Each structure stands twice: as structure tokens, then as C-alpha cells.
Amino acid sequence: MNIGVLGAGQLGRMLALAGYPLANRFTFLDTTGNPSAGIGDVMVDTDQKHLESFLDKVDLVTYEFEHLPVSLVRAIEERKPVYPGSEAIRVCQHRAEEKALFDRLAIPTPAYRLVDSAEALEAAVRELGTPVVAKSVTEGYDGKGQAVIKDPADAAEAWRSINHPRLIVEAFVDFVREVSIIAVRGRDGEVVFYPMAENVHVDGILRYSVAPMPDLDDAVQQTADGYIRALLDELDYVGVLTLELFQTRDGALLANEMAPRVHNSGHWTQDGAVTSQFENHLRAIQGLPLGSTAARAPTCMVNVIGREGDPAKLLEIDDAHLHRYDKGERPGRKLAHVNLVAPTHEALLEKVRACAALLPDAPAPSFSFE
């Protein structure tokens, strides 16, 4: 089967690497003019003049990047099967729509307000109490398009810096850790769940993900499973879906945002789970049986950002697996990740610290369960 992928970055690259053993072929449609997949058949289409040629080549379509014109995805749906569907992209592109969906499905979130002026932003800051985080309702990701406001007097400057006509303002959460739940839904409605991961972000960019968590109560995992199942069923979703959450001191979970695709916090599954998120996504969209999501051993994904370390040194670490994206170095750019696997969490943390020491500018790893 020739699978069409909207987007041509490292997530698409890893989908292809997982799909070749299934005899899949891949055609990527890049709408940005900056493809980096370096694999498969890449079509650059910044002016949407090559869509017909793309659709003639592929049997079905998926995507590795949700910031796509919804109109484009809907047009493709009229010609070829698209998984996940355009409704998932529409909702995930708009934070207000996403929050409304969470509210409708009784998935708890941090307190929030929607504002459309600097004056309304200041009022929301006073109502919610400081600090708050203000985000553009569309287009922001990886820390972009947002600002932390610690004083209502700073609202006007935050409004100018974000420079968007509508913002969502969220109260800060006194959380113990940031976590994510990744699930896969097949064409037949079957759903499987990966163990939740603890995620460490620095400056809005994910740096470390550990799964499974050694101190996670089964009831918390079941709660997260219930939240993401509700989303999958409501959207009639097919493929991998990710839900990012905050876990508070009393163990409760508050939803932050969802991503309708394979996700950075699921990269650990390539070497730490029976079936990776990439293979399971491909199984799901092709109507194949879903693979086991069980963890093989404690695993940590370490993101390589901006500058790469010495590959030989990294691979000297026992049971270390380096996944490079074949990208040029640039501040803030995701260049690779390292998956570290160990028999115990204690041994895993030793490897994580050794790995971080080999990566330029890597922040010191710290996890809630230490």
C-alpha cells in the first residue's frame, strides 16, 4: 500500500521506517517548502499545484503535522480515505474548540478564559489570579505564540507580543508533573493504550519522557484511558492520538492539549514497547490488528535539541538507541532523540544523566519520582 503523508518532517520519516517492514511505500506532500524526511517520495507543493499527482499515487492519506489547511484535508477526503479525519485537525488547530470539546466530554482542564482585546486580557488575568499563561487560539506550538503573565499590568505588552486577535488565558496549575497518554484506535473501533509517560519540558520544548512511571497508581492510568477513549470515540478517530495532562498533588489529571498524530512523548515506544506508536498508527489506518502496547522495560527518551553530541559516545551507553533525523544544527531545532532502556528505574536514571552529559546544552534531568 502506498501511504500518503501530509508533512515531511521527522515524524513522517519514522512512520516510513516503521512501515517498510509491512511492505508499505510512502509519498510525502510538503506544503512548507522545507522537507526534512530524507526518505520515500517527497513532493514539495507550496502552491497546491501538485495535489492531483499526489492523490493519484497514494491509496490512503495520513499526516504527521496538524497545522494544515482544514480545507485541504477536506478536499483530500473527497478523493481518498484520510485517517485521522479532518474534524480532528479542525478541533486541534483551535484551542477554544479543543477546550469546548474537553468540557463537553467532562474532561477536566485548568480554569480558562477567552479574550479578544488587551483590556479583556487584563480583566481575565485579574479574575484568574497570577500567574497565568496566555496563548493564541491558533498557530502556536512548542512554546510559540504564548506568554506568561505575572502581573495584570503586563497584559498589554503580552497582547502586543503574541499579536493574535484572540487568546486563551489559562490559570497556572500547581502540578506534580506533566504527563501524556497515547492511545490508538483502529478502523473497527478497537482501542489500545500505552503506559503513561512523565514529560519534562524546558522553554516549552520536550526534553525527556519516561515510561512507564514507577509510582503511577493504576486508577490514574485508568482515568487517563477513559478521557482519551472518550475523545477517540467522539471524533470517530482512527490512528494514534496523544493527550497531554497535568497531574496535581491530589493525583487528579487536568487536560492541557491533544495532538492528532504520533507524538514526541511516544518516541520511547520505538525501543521500549512491544509495538511502537509508529507501527500501531500504520496498522490502525490500514485496518490491521493493533499490536501490544506493553512496555518491555523502563525507558527514557532524551531529545537532542540544537546541537548533536558525539554519536559514538552516546552509543557506548548500554542499551542506548540513537535516532537521528538527518537535519542541520540550529538553535531550538529537534535533531534526534536517544532511547535508553534499563531493567530498573534506578539504572535508567544513571543512563539518562550519562546521556545528558554528552549532549551540548542539555538541561539536567529531574523527575517527580526521584
pLDDT of residue 141: 61
pLDDT digits (tens, 9 = 90+) for 275-319: 999 999 999 999 999 999 999 999 999 999 999 999 999 999 999
Burial class (CB in 10 A: 0-12, 13-18, 19+), 34: exposed
Top pLDDT among 237 and 144 is at 237
pLDDT of residue 46: 87
Kindly report, as residue ranges, where domains of CATH 3.30.1490.20 are found in the chain: 111-171
Indicate the average pLDDT of the chain. 95
Sign of CA pseudo-dihedral 229, 230, 231, 237: positive
Round to whole Å and give the CA distance between 2 and 286.
11
CATH class as words, domain 2-82: alpha beta
Kindly report, as residue ranges, where domains of CATH 3.40.50.20 are found in the chain: 2-82
pLDDT of residue 54: 97
Query: Which of 266, 262, 268, 242 is CA-nearest to residue 338?
Result: 268
pLDDT of residue 67: 85
Kindly report, as residue ranges, where domains of CATH 3.30.470.20 are found in the chain: 175-357
SS3 category, 29? strand
Cell of 292: 501490544
| Section 228-237 average pLDDT | 98
Residues 6+ apart with CB under 8 A from 321: 270, 271, 338, 339, 340, 341
Number of H helices, E strands in the chain: 12, 17
pLDDT at 192 over 80: yes
pLDDT at 143 over 70: no
pLDDT of residue 114: 96
Q: Does the domain spanning 175-357 belong to CATH 3.30.470.20?
A: yes
Is the whole-model pTM more than 0.85? Answer: yes
Residues 6+ apart with CB under 8 A from 34: none
Query: Which of 3, 119, 16, 50 is CA-nearest to residue 325?
Result: 16
Q: Could you tell me which CATH number the domain at 111-171 has? A: 3.30.1490.20
